[in-house]
């Protein structure tokens, strides 16, 4: 027997409308309907979808690689969302080299190797730090001239972080050529779900045009135009060589590179914003984190990055980061059912799609305790006792789940903690027009970090006591 279908007043289209426009309410309805926390079925415009609610069942899904596959969904997403042509997709997915099953698999192995903990990641982190420092020096110049900067905080943080990481990853030429690229990427993120619906070009003309402009910028970087004179980080260059060897032209390679760049670029920018929001909107937490960083750096007015990244030296900083991800991640494990399989007493039938939203598990009282809905900065370092649950990182899934877990997760932690620490130690941020927390945009699907419903205006000034990077 399949999981019971969630009741809805509108047959056929009701679940699809709720999923597209009222997702948070849909999740609440699912929790109310399945008191046992067992899987629930949805009908998304004729496609049967199985919604998994618990960590235990998610583990079962991810272990069942022989019956539940990720590959078909990836091959469905790349052309529809990222804009790969069917020819490009076929070349990437069907060119084994004797070691890897395809050019795409080869590219993923390069990224996994470069971004795992080790020297390559350390070297890339150092390049990112240098790039961030240059961007902060530009902010300092503006503050020297104007004393105070009034900015839209989300846009400012997104562009600051995104510029630093893009220059480190792709070289400075990309953003010099297209100064609107990060704005285009934010628009692409807003259009992401609409692309998954497969809407024709005439119904989302602006979205198609915006994505096309992004493709052109990446294609020009790959070609021998001036924008490509400054090389990207070695592993991006190697991925592009892999694509060239299997016959892709510069434009197709650019589209492929865009996909990898977007996957590694977008979520940390948003996570930096939310970590700063939850910290700065709480003056006591701001003071505690600044004191912790200062102690870790031995009070020598130099930002010791190795200490910042050491969880033993900065436990509150790390705990806050994990709590931010718990509250703001909308990552979803997705699988295609290739053979019937039993999960928690129900049958997932061939052809169905399985979705395991991290948000349902991140707000499960059974995992996190009675204060599950509260933002608790020290949740992951507090002492567990009756009525108080210490957070367990094994229950946190902001980067998906093995074997398809995001390979950029280690750099994401470094990027967020270095950027947040640098801003907290360098600047004061004053909220303009109210002190309420920005709200998460939870009504529509998101495939990573959730954006705010609207931006917030702040005033940025230089702190009197400022640490510099070591």
Domains in the chain: ranges and CATH: 1-83+332-358 (3.30.43.20), 84-331+398-469 (1.10.630.10)
13 or 423, greater pLDDT: 423
| pLDDT > 70? residue 466 | no
| pLDDT tens by residue, 301-351 | 678 899 999 999 999 999 999 999 999 999 999 999 999 999 999 999 999
Gap between the Cα atoms of 18 and 27, Å rounded: 9
The model's pTM: 0.94
| pLDDT > 70? residue 178 | yes
Mean pLDDT of 411-423: 97
Mean pLDDT of 30-34: 95
pLDDT of res. 258: 95
pLDDT of res. 470: 53
Mean pLDDT of 165-193: 94
- Alpha-carbon 182 to chain mean position: 15
pLDDT of res. 468: 55
pLDDT of res. 265: 87
Mean pLDDT of 77-85: 93
pLDDT band per the 50, 70, 90 thresholds, residue 57 = very high
Q: What is the mean pLDDT of the chain?
A: 92
Gap between the Cα atoms of 377 and 285, Å rounded: 8
Of the listed ranges 161-165, 237-241, 380-384, 464-468, the one predicted with least confidence: 464-468
| pLDDT tens by residue, 200-254 | 888 899 999 999 999 999 999 888 654 456 789 999 999 999 999 999 999 999 9
Contact between 290 and 425 under an 8 Å Cβ cutoff? The reply is yes
Mean pLDDT of 96-115: 93
pLDDT of res. 105: 95
pLDDT of res. 469: 52
pLDDT band per the 50, 70, 90 thresholds, residue 113 = very high
pLDDT of res. 393: 95
Mean pLDDT of 394-420: 93
Of the listed ranges 94-98, 292-296, 423-427, the one predicted with least confidence: 94-98
Question: Which two structure tokens, joined as six digits, stand for 304?
Answer: 């010791």
pLDDT band per the 50, 70, 90 thresholds, residue 50 = very high
Preceding amide of 403 cis, omega within 30: yes
The answer to whether 356 is annotated as binding is: no
Q: In this structure, how many other beta carbons lie within 10 angstroms of the beta carbon of residue 440?
A: 18
Q: How far is CA 358 from CA 57, 331, 380, 397, in A?
A: 12, 6, 18, 6
| pLDDT tens by residue, 272-291 | 999 999 999 999 999 999 99
pLDDT of res. 225: 55
pLDDT of res. 339: 97
């Amino acid at each position: 027997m399949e999981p019971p279908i969630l009741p809805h007043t509108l047959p056929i289209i009701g679940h699809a409308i709720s999923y597209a426009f009222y997702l948070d309410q849909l999740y609440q309805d699912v929790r109310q309907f399945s008191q046992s926390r067992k899987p629930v079925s949805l009908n998304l415009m004729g496609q049967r979808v199985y919604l998994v609610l618990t960590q235990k069942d998610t583990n079962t899904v991810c272990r069942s690689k022989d019956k539940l596959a990720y590959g078909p969904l990836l091959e469905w997403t790349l052309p529809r969302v990222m804009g790969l042509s069917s020819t490009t997709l076929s070349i990437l997915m069907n060119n084994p080299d004797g070691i890897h099953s395809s050019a795409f698999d080869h590219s993923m192995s390069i990224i996994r190797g470069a971004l795992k903990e080790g020297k390559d990641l350390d070297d890339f982190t150092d390049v990112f730090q240098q790039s961030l420092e240059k961007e902060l020096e530009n902010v300092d110049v503006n503050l020297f001239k104007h004393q105070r900067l009034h900015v839209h905080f989300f846009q400012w943080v997104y562009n600051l972080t995104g510029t630093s990481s893009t220059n480190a990853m792709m070289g400075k030429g990309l953003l010099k050529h297209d100064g609107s690229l990060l704005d285009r990427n934010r628009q692409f993120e807003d259009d992401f779900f609409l692309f998954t619906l497969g809407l024709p070009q005439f119904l989302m003309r602006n979205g198609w045009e915006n994505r096309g402009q992004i493709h052109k910028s990446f294609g020009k970087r790959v070609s021998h135009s001036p924008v490509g004179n400054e090389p990207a980080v070695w592993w991006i260059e190697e991925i592009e060589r892999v694509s060239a060897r299997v016959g892709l032209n510069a434009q197709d390679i650019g589209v492929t590179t865009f996909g990898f760049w977007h996957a590694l670029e977008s979520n940390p920018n948003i996570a930096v914003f939310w970590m700063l929001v939850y910290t700065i909107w709480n003056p006591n937490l701001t003071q505690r984190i600044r004191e912790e960083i200062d102690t870790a750096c031995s009070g020598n007015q130099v930002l010791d990055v190795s200490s910042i990244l050491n969880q033993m030296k900065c436990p509150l900083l790390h705990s806050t980061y994990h709590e931010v991800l718990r509250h703001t991640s909308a990552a979803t494990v997705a699988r295609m059912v290739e053979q019937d399989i039993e999960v928690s007493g129900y049958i997932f039938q061939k052809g169905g799609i399985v979705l395991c939203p991290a948000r349902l598990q991140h707000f499960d009282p059974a995992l996190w305790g009675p204060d599950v809905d509260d933002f608790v900065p020290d949740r992951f370092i507090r002492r567990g006792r009756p009525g108080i649950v210490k957070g367990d990182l094994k229950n946190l899934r902001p980067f998906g789940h093995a074997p398809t877990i995001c390979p950029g997760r280690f750099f994401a932690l470094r990027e967020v903690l270095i950027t947040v620490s640098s801003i907290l130690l360098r600047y004061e941020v004053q909220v303009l027009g109210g002190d309420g927390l920005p709200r998460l945009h939870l009504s529509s699907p998101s495939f990573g970090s959730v954006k705010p419903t609207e931006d917030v205006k702040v005033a940025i000034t230089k702190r009197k006591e400022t640490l510099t990077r070591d």
